[in-house]
Chains A and B, each alone.
Chain A
């Protein structure tokens, strides 16, 4: 692949020189080659990325060890050197057709930036918690993603934002405030992902936003989170199915928006069900469960044929629904043996449904 793209690039340069195409066309063509090149993740580039992540982790842990044998200023200088060498060296390699190694070096540089923040905190005993350090780190990484137009760096900054959300959301450091800032962060990163052509980042962001809403729900236990999530997910699902082409041209999610919408829909309904489960009157819970099951069936009928992933999300949702309906509606009647019997029956039922649907899908395909 690298061979082909490098050949095309020399061709583009030649066409440009021969005045067959103008500069902007050459730029567009080069970008297109690059974008499509990225889609084929080779084994080598995966290994390079893993090596970069390990190296980055080594840098961070080395900082954490606070090893006195090397003076602090030397440690700072070493990290600064890694930042400079990583970004510039990565850029140089990228222009010389070693894109995978170049991106890996950028990841190392971003890790060194995070390590430097931690080291400064350690040098001056800054007691601001890790979450604010994570914000700075994530912002620096997002800046790097924009400046270098890098897909892996975009994913990395989403990952750092998620780590921040996770730590804050579960109140790891004992703060009372809820991380509402995440919505802003997610929107900014979503916008960045178009510039950096990072479809992976967009998928991760959408899932993270759903996770944020789940956290919000556990914090406040309110239907004000769940109902809009259900409505928006339903609308998005409909849009993604009935206007698949235009919607995907805008969002560029590789046709996987229905999957996200279904996850959002089921998460929202699960919130409603948890909220209603405690009430003595089960009829509202029954309605919510019926809506969830209907939604799952509708999703399979409307989008199941095109997407195996969607079907498996639907099955997982179905399994969850069976479990929660059983626990809420029937638990009082049965003892432990009864529970196992019921679990066996439910699992058997689930297997039956999955097997039948998969068979029908195969037959139709």
Chain B
């Protein structure tokens, strides 16, 4: 490869990689800016990530969906496929949003103005009998913190209710916006 071509390749490569990363950032910032805001009740599980540092693992109320809420389970189906799930949320009297209905795949009708649809993912093999619950992932199950702050917040979360303010895009993709301690905002995410 001649010198000039190599430099051109290097510049193009750098721009492609930086462009790709910027595109992800822009997509996420767009959800934060334009998404529908809902407040979800959470409890912590356990921290730490190899590459990205301290985080709290979050388990939402909507991380457990009763099977009887899912409206479109085919008759005779015993276990779940690897599939997206749409969960319809509505604000309760205490301000937290709760699941009112759910569908595998897509929702049959768009959400009403006082509702919001969040899209999650269900792994294969969950028991679909009526009395059980399944556990979808929404891609918002981690909250990253500056090194050393993870444990303190996690311990507090065990004794009183915490909430996560989430922005939901029109396509149902969710993005964490803020960590709430009761009415107090602990961490608010800037767009970038």
Query: Would A83 and B17 be within 8 Å (CB), given that A67-B147, A127-B137 are in contact?
Result: yes
Query: Would A130 and B51 be within 8 Å (CB), given that A67-B147, A124-B176 are in contact?
Result: yes
Q: How far is the CA of A66 from the CA of B18 in the complex (A)?
A: 20
CB-CB under 8 A from A94, the residues of chain B are 6
Q: How far is the CA of A148 from the CA of B145 in the complex (A)?
A: 37
Give A105's nearest chain B residue, CB to CB: B10
Query: Would A148 and B51 be within 8 Å (CB), given that A68-B146, A113-B17, A122-B144 are in contact?
Result: no
Q: How far is the CA of A143 from the CA of B14 in the complex (A)?
A: 10
| B78 contacts A by Cβ under 8 Å | no
| A121 contacts B by Cβ under 8 Å | yes
The 4 closest A-B CB pairs, nearest first, are A95-B3, A91-B10, A64-B53, A127-B141
With contacts A113-B17, A125-B142, A143-B16 known, what are 19 further pairs, Cβ within 8 A? A27-B2, A64-B51, A65-B53, A65-B146, A76-B192, A80-B22, A87-B13, A87-B14, A91-B10, A116-B21, A126-B28, A126-B139, A130-B51, A140-B17, A143-B17, A144-B13, A147-B12, A148-B6, A148-B9
| A38 contacts B by Cβ under 8 Å | no
Q: How far is the CA of A60 from the CA of B49 in the complex (A)?
A: 12
Return the contact of B52 from the options A27, A72, A86, A121 (Cβ within 8 A): A121
Interface bits B6-44 vs A (CB < 8 Å: 1, else 0): 110111111111101110110010001000000000000
Interface bits A65-81 vs B (CB < 8 Å: 1, else 0): 11110001100100010
CB of A150, distance to nearest CB on chain B (Å):
10
Q: How far is the CA of A245 from the CA of B138 in the complex (A)?
A: 55
Contact A147 B9 (CB under 8 A): yes
| A181 contacts B by Cβ under 8 Å | no
Give A115's nearest chain B residue, CB to CB: B51
CB-CB under 8 A from B18, the residues of chain A are 80, 83-84
Give A88's nearest chain B residue, CB to CB: B10
CB-CB under 8 A from A88, the residues of chain B are 7, 10-11, 14
- Which residues of A line the B interface, CB within 8 A? 27, 30-31, 60, 63-68, 72-73, 76, 80, 83-84, 86-88, 90-92, 94-95, 109, 113-114, 116-128, 130, 133, 140, 143-144, 147-149, 176
Contact A126 B146 (CB under 8 A): no
Contact B52 A64 (CB under 8 A): yes
Q: How far is the CA of A149 from the CA of B142 in the complex (A)?
A: 38
CB-CB under 8 A from B192, the residues of chain A are 72-73, 76, 123
Contact B139 A127 (CB under 8 A): yes
CB-CB under 8 A from A126, the residues of chain B are 28, 139, 142
CB-CB under 8 A from B190, the residues of chain A are 72
The count of A-to-B residue pairs whose CB atoms sit within 8 angstroms is 136
Give A145's nearest chain B residue, CB to CB: B13
Q: How far is the CA of A147 from the CA of B15 in the complex (A)?
A: 12
CB of A59, distance to nearest CB on chain B (Å):
11
CB of A31, distance to nearest CB on chain B (Å):
8
Contact A80 B53 (CB under 8 A): no
Q: How far is the CA of A166 from the CA of B86 in the complex (A)?
A: 33
Chain B interface size range: 35 or more
| B124 contacts A by Cβ under 8 Å | yes
| B109 contacts A by Cβ under 8 Å | no
CB of A194, distance to nearest CB on chain B (Å):
15
Contact A130 B9 (CB under 8 A): no
Query: Would A66 and B141 be within 8 Å (CB), given that A27-B2, A80-B21, A95-B7 are in contact?
Result: no
Which parts of B52-73 form the interface with A (CB within 8 Å)? 52-55
With most chain B CB atoms within 10 A of its CB, the pick from A73, A122, A127 is A127
Query: Would A176 and B49 be within 8 Å (CB), given that A94-B6, A113-B17 are in contact?
Result: no
| B154 contacts A by Cβ under 8 Å | no
Contact A124 B13 (CB under 8 A): no
Give B32's nearest chain A residue, CB to CB: A124
CB-CB under 8 A from A109, the residues of chain B are 14
Contact A117 B10 (CB under 8 A): no
Give B54's nearest chain A residue, CB to CB: A66
Q: How far is the CA of A73 from the CA of B3 in the complex (A)?
A: 33
CB of B80, distance to nearest CB on chain A (Å):
12
CB-CB under 8 A from B51, the residues of chain A are 60, 63-64, 114, 118, 121, 130, 133
CB-CB under 8 A from A60, the residues of chain B are 51
Which parts of B99-149 form the interface with A (CB within 8 Å)? 123-125, 137-147
CB of A71, distance to nearest CB on chain B (Å):
9
Contact A120 B28 (CB under 8 A): yes
CB-CB under 8 A from A140, the residues of chain B are 17, 20
Give B176's nearest chain A residue, CB to CB: A125
CB-CB under 8 A from B176, the residues of chain A are 124-125
Give A68's nearest chain B residue, CB to CB: B146
Q: How far is the CA of A60 from the CA of B3 in the complex (A)?
A: 30
Q: How far is the CA of A241 from the CA of B50 in the complex (A)?
A: 44
